[in-house]
């Protein structure tokens, strides 16, 4: 690890938050705005945008390889900037593909497939290296707060982009969508260039890089052999599977069981996101501490957030059996707060664990965890929706069917909590070579 004098200050952390917000701005157009255009304006099957979004998650299985590329040179900013450029190009091509679908559906879909592959690669490259840069340059005592700042800025980027793009896109035309997407892509790249300028050192020397340049599969095997890295990968997959499995069914649940209108169920999603922000802020304040005193470790907040998420989902199970009269809004707010707490604590832990083990493998570790998260997100949303369909067909009543699904999801969070609790007990691998600073950090509560 770098000496304390070389850690990023709050302004440096905020600069990286702007990069995350820029990344989120392009992604939200591709996965939300374009989704609606394909289904509503073009009257195409909803499975088409669903498959494209799933494709951009699947492509992120390349994250470990992209992270390895940044490990070789020892610098992350070229991969962040290059990833943002690829992401922006993918967004523009996706808009062009949608415009083409109006006259030639097959050709437009083919271009959209290429575009979403590029989107996945761009997110994987920029996102992985951004997290590695945070992990290496943020003081351990600021990691919880840094994770909160960066992710809150991403959410702000989501909100501002949807509001601004929504206003500019009316009345809709394919040309207007293409122009807006191109403008957002250019702005995102410009923000990234400005935010990362001079933020990173020169990296390793060429001789040092050549001496530690194994084949990718060998580096991946080394990282997988590290007990903590392997256990954390499994934890990330399981927790994000549980996190995403309720994402697509919460609003239908509110509508079919509690009689919420589309507008009311959308507001309910806002209540959940408000809870997420509260949970994130709570962990940031606890992790940063007051007058030098911190409240709990990142691991404790990760375990506690998973247990609280389990409890909130069990409460939704009771709500599904009870129906109207259950305090649904309060329940959903608590679920969001628990989700936000565990997510930020897990990201903070990710920053800590990325530098443990053999030096020069931070990108591979972060890429491995990012790939696990992306695959879990892709599977979780589909699995939750499919499970609710199967349960409703088998039981014949919406409330008990959703209750069963929420109950199963709560068990996933319980398993994730158990996995998180075991992380501190992970023995050092024979292939791990922790530095003295890394060894000291491993036992430090944040």
Tens of pLDDT, residue by residue over 285-343, are 876 655 556 677 788 899 999 999 999 999 999 999 998 989 999 999 999 999 999 88
Answer whether residue 426 shows pLDDT above 60.
Answer: no
Answer whether residue 3 shows pLDDT above 50.
Answer: no
Contact 137, 6 (CB under 8 A): yes
Other beta carbons less than 10 A from residue 4's beta carbon: 8
Interval 143-186: pLDDT, tens = 778 888 888 888 888 878 878 888 888 888 999 999 999 999 99
**Spatial CB neighbours of 432, under 8 Å, sequence gap ≥ 6:** 225, 226, 227, 356, 357, 358
pLDDT on residue 406? 94
Answer whether residue 413 shows pLDDT above 60.
Answer: yes
Q: How far apart are CA 92 and CA 86, in angstroms?
A: 10
* Residue 255: exposure state from Cβ atoms within 10 A (0-12, 13-18, ≥19): middle
Reading the block at residue 306, the tokens are 């998973």
Contact 326, 113 (CB under 8 A): no
Is the Cα torsion angle 334, 335, 341, 344 positive or negative in sign? negative
Question: pTM score, two decimals?
Answer: 0.81
pLDDT on residue 359? 73
Dihedral angle at the C-alpha atoms of 225, 229, 230, 232, nearest 10 degrees?
A: 170
Q: How far apart are CA 359 and CA 35, in angstroms?
A: 42
pLDDT on residue 293? 63
pLDDT on residue 127? 92
Of the candidates 353, 6, 351, 352, the one whose C-alpha atom is nearest the C-alpha of residue 199 is: 6
More confident residue, 288 or 366: 366
CB crowding 321-359: b at 16 or more within 10 Å, else e: beeeebebbebbbbbbbbbbbbbbbbbbbbbbbbbbbbe
pLDDT band at 210 (very low <50, low <70, confident <90, very high): very low
pLDDT on residue 289? 59
Query: Could you tell me which residues are beta bridge partners of residue 293?
Result: 290
Q: How far apart are CA 350 and CA 7, in angstroms?
A: 17
Residue for token digits 């440096």?
A: 12
Answer whether residue 257 shows pLDDT above 60.
Answer: yes
Q: What is the CA radius of gyration of the chain?
A: 22
């Amino acid at each position: 690890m770098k000496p304390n004098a070389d850690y990023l200050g709050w302004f440096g952390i905020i600069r990286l938050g702007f990069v995350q917000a820029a990344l989120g701005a392009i992604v939200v157009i591709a996965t939300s705005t374009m989704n609606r255009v394909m289904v509503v304006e073009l009257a195409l099957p909803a499975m088409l945008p669903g498959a494209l979004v799933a494709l951009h998650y699947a492509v992120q299985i390349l994250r470990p390889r992209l992270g390895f590329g940044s490990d070789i040179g020892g610098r992350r900013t070229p991969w962040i900037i290059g990833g943002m450029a690829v992401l922006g190009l993918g967004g523009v091509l996706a808009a062009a593909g949608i415009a083409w679908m109006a006259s030639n559906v097959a050709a437009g879909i083919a271009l959209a497939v290429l575009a979403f592959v590029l989107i996945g690669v761009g997110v994987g490259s920029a996102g992985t290296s951004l997290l590695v840069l945070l992990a290496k340059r943020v003081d351990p005592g600021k990691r919880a707060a840094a994770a909160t700042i960066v992710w809150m800025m991403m959410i702000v980027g989501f909100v501002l982009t949807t509001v601004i793009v929504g206003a500019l896109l009316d009345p809709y035309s394919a040309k207007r969508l293409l122009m807006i997407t191109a403008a957002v892509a250019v702005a995102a790249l410009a923000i990234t260039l400005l935010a990362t300028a001079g933020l990173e050192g020169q990296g390793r020397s060429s001789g040092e890089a050549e001496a530690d340049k194994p084949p990718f599969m060998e580096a991946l095997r080394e990282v997988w052999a590290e007990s903590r890295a392997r256990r954390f990968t499994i934890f990330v997959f399981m927790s994000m599977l549980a996190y995403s499995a309720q994402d697509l069914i919460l609003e239908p649940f509110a509508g079919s069981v509690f009689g919420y209108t589309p507008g009311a169920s959308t507001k309910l999603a806002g209540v959940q996101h408000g809870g997420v922000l509260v949970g994130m802020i709570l962990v940031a304040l606890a992790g940063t501490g007051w007058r030098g005193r911190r409240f709990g470790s990142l691991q404790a907040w990760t375990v506690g957030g998973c247990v609280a998420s389990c409890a909130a989902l069990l409460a939704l199970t009771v709500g599904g059996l009870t129906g109207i009269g259950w305090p649904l809004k309060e329940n959903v707010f608590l679920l969001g707060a628990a989700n936000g707490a565990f997510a930020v604590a897990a990201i903070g832990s990710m920053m800590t664990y990325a530098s443990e083990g053999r030096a020069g493998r931070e990108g591979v570790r972060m890429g491995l965890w990012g790939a696990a998260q992306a695959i879990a997100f892709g599977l979780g949303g589909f699995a939750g929706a499919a499970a609710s369909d199967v349960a409703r067909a088998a039981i014949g009543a919406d409330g008990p069917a959703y209750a069963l699904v929420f109950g199963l999801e709560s068990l996933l969070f319980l398993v994730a909590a158990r996995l998180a609790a075991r992380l501190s007990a992970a023995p050092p691998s024979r292939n791990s070579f922790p530095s003295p600073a890394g060894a000291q950090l491993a036992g430090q509560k944040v």
